[in-house]
Structure 1
């Protein structure tokens, strides 16, 4: 062992770099990206799926056969221009560029390039539009766009400020007080399992205000559809499985694990503010278009809900009656 150590120490630093260049320089990008991905041990299941999707859809088809020692800023710029010609959205372009940049910077640390291949390349300018909080009228349309499970998710997201996955993991046992709900877990859209909260460690939780209307929706759903270990939203054909898709207005449900469909209408985690509830529409009156009429692709069948009991009605409060104002955990003060 001593002889081996002395032999390696006697090797000039330039020779070690030359060996790395000889080994990795001729390697194809696809092979190098595979080795790089194996070292990303901090990624969660959903992040791994997202990384593999970017590699398989955008990076490898265009750069997979290129040798690593042939990359420069012109190659990277050409890659971005190809994405633009193919009509790829700015968000996907930005994500693909970030992954390509991370891989090439890793290769640059090995000394494969004389110059940084991403230096001077302008990344795609993705500037998402400002999210607009639904108005009371739009929120009412969203709440009445589906059946009981859709109403439950809409109330949890708008009244308690929950994320999608947190609303799907609603549990009757998490009502720690008449006006407090404790969020302890969420449903992972990739694994379809209950997991820790996003950006938090296992066992951590957060308490949010629970408006009376939302608590009534939870209790009504539990009494009508039952629970499994306190969980309300379960798979329609297998109660032992979680569900990540509430049913839409036509009674259909989509529970495929891969996120190939659109999530339900996204309600931002902010203050749920309603001043007056509109008069309920007659059953024969078609609902107007917009965010409230978002439909999900049918997958499994479920009998459509034609009429809710009075306790579950979305508009049991007479028109003109003030509705409670729920300020959620973001501590943002609602505007009057």
Structure 2
């Protein structure tokens, strides 16, 4: 800043910082422009803030910052400084192993997002230099590279988690996401199979595929959760407890997505699903540790197993519509919402971390909610 624009700069106690007006008014003490402050935070990085109405407000903020610095233990201040000086790539490589709640599939997804979209742009940047402007420039760079909105949102969400973690640990003083407008991905229209198509797939599929179709369309399970189908999970005649999933690549049991180890969720179990599980157990018995779905060479299904059997059944059934196994989850949600079940319950049964995602994908399936509300309000009038 030039000498002319900071004529009111006032030095305070050594190390406390300064306050000033960044204007060219001849009588700055009486002009309406706000005061700004400049100081060094606990990591040694110079910071500047503006928007203070008077000297008292600016001094109060400087006093608060100075007290925080003096009361911060030396070891903690050194840690903050160390975090702030790290390159983003280095920090991200230490952040991911600390996310112990991530299942293996989530770890692979985050690594893919980092390597494809985030690290090529931000890997060498120091953590204490991240500001809202830097984050907005990153979003703009993805737009310039014509990155899809879904990929943009995934990249932004990953970056956001890493930066907020560094902010919480003191490596970034101010919130680097303050005021940033994230990219908004609007899910495309989902494809829901009809009941006739589900019956056709079951008629053309193996007994194993039939069991998986019943679990996903009837209880709303994810692929990996259906691989872990177990008779003991029927905790009541109409309740199925989901306690784990089978990783679709490693074929090994893993904890549920968005759940800590040992946590579970429960889903309503229609009579047809219960009969499907019991029938399969009678006809084929159980495999290792009681799991039902297995192959001749492995104790558990994998994504390759499902993809092969799904495409074969579609071909035999003559279905050309763009249906994937995940479409069965959409059928479950549609079945629930069209029968008046609250979307909050549907989100819980499907294991969504945030109900906003459930609203984005399935709100249009709620039967004429606005029209129904209008009729009810009219009756009250």
Per the alignment, residue 182 of structure 1 pairs with 240
Q: What whole-Å deviation, never above 9, does each CA across 1:240-292 have from its counterpart, x for those lacking one? A: x454543235389xxxxxxxxx755332344759xxxxxxxxxxxxxxxxxxx
The residue that corresponds to 2:210 in the other structure is 151
Deviations 1:169-207 (A, max 9, x none): 222344566x43532433243653334555476275636
Alignment of 1:233-272 (within 5 A): 233-239=293-299, 241-244=300-303, 245-246=305-306, 247-250=309-312, 263-268=325-330, 269-270=332-333, 272=335
Please give the TM-score of this superposition, normalised by the length of structure 2.
0.54
Matching of residue 17 in structure 1 with residue 43 in structure 2: yes
- SS of structure 1 residue aligned to 2:328: coil
Unaligned runs of 5+ in 1: 1-11, 253-261, 274-324
Deviations 1:208-265 (A, max 9, x none): 3342x434433443444442143220133123x454543235389xxxxxxxxx7553
Instruction: Say whether the 8 Å CA contact 1:155–1:214 is kept in structure 2.
Output: yes
Contact 1:145 1:248 in 2 (8 A): no
> How many residues are aligned here?
260
Say if 2:156 is the partner of 1:94. Answer: no
Q: 1:220 to 1:124 in 2, by over 3 A?
A: same
Asked if the contact 1:159/1:271 (under 8 Å) is kept, the reply is no
User: Of residues 71, 87, 106 in structure 2, which corresponds to 1:28?
Assistant: 87
Post-superposition CA distance 1:85-106 (Å, at most 9, x none)? 3332222211211222333344
Is 1:202 the counterpart of 2:228? The answer is: no
TM-score by length of 1: 0.60
Whole-angstrom CA distance in 1 between matches of 2:168 and 2:291: 49
For residue 151 of structure 1, report the CA deviation from its aligned partner: 1.8
- The answer as to whether partners of 2:220 and 2:328 remain within 8 angstroms in 1 is no
Report the structure, 1 or 2, having the larger strand content. Answer: 2
Work out the CA distance in 2 between the residues paired with 1:224 and 1:149: 11
What is the RMSD of the two structures over their aligned residues, measured on CA atoms?
4.2
Instruction: Determine which structure has greater relative contact order: mean sequence separation of CA pairs < 8 Å that are 6+ residues apart, divided by chain length.
Output: 1
Give the distance between the partners of 1:42 and 1:171, measured in 2 at CA. 23
C-alpha deviation, 1:60, in angstroms: 0.9
2:224 is the counterpart of 1:162? no
Gap regions ≥5 residues in structure 2: 1-14, 17-39, 45-76, 315-323, 350-365, 368-381
Q: What is aligned with 1:85?
A: 144
User: Is the Cα–Cα contact under 8 Å of residues 184 and 196 in structure 1 kept in the other structure?
Assistant: no
Instruction: Identify, as 1 or 2, the structure richer in helix.
Output: 2
- Taking the aligned partners of 1:63 and 1:115, their CA distance within structure 2 comes to 18
Q: Distance in 1 between matches of 2:185 and 2:104?
A: 25
* Structure-to-structure mapping, 1:209-220, within 5 angstroms: 209-211=269-271, 213-220=272-279
CA–CA separation in structure 1 for the residues paired with 2:157 and 2:41: 32
